[in-house]
Amino acid sequence: QVQLQESGPGLVKPSQTLSLTCTVSGGSITTSYYGWSWIRQPPGKGLEWMGVIAYDGSTYYSPSLKSRTSISRDTSKNQFSLQLSSVTPEDTAVYYCARSKGNSDYERVDEYNYWGQGTQVTVSS
């Protein structure tokens, strides 16, 4: 059974960089053909796909966030990480890491069947 767990600060100041890590157990992040994504949900809004790092290390980002987002991985620790720069209060959300069902459309949030519990990140001074 694959399990994902997000970790990182719950409070970030405006203009700083938000950094989160997802630790995966029960499966390798290099196993074909899964994608490992970051997805967020602002208060009162729907789920928003942010970006993915695929099994082969390739990355794809939401066009609306691409200029501020970076996803990387540490295969020795079976972890992948999110960095979101120049945050504003509009980046306040619950942030989830998730694994895709397979070699699917990584941008679709309904193509993910394993999710972390989510972590609340608030952007405030």
% of the chain at pLDDT higher than 90:
97
% of the chain at pLDDT higher than 70:
100
Please give the pLDDT value at position 65. 97
Please give the pLDDT value at position 82. 98
Please give the pLDDT value at position 52. 97
Please give the pLDDT value at position 20. 98
Please give the pLDDT value at position 104. 76
Q: What is the pLDDT of residues 23-42, one digit of tens each?
A: 999 999 999 999 999 999 99
Q: What is the 3-state secondary structure (H, E, C) of the chain?
A: CCEEEEECCCEECCCCCEEEEEEEECCCCCCCCCEEEEEEECCCCCCEEEEEEECCCCEEECCCCCCCEEEEEECCCCEEEEEECCCCHHHCEEEEEEEECCCCCCCCHHHEEEECCCEEEEECC
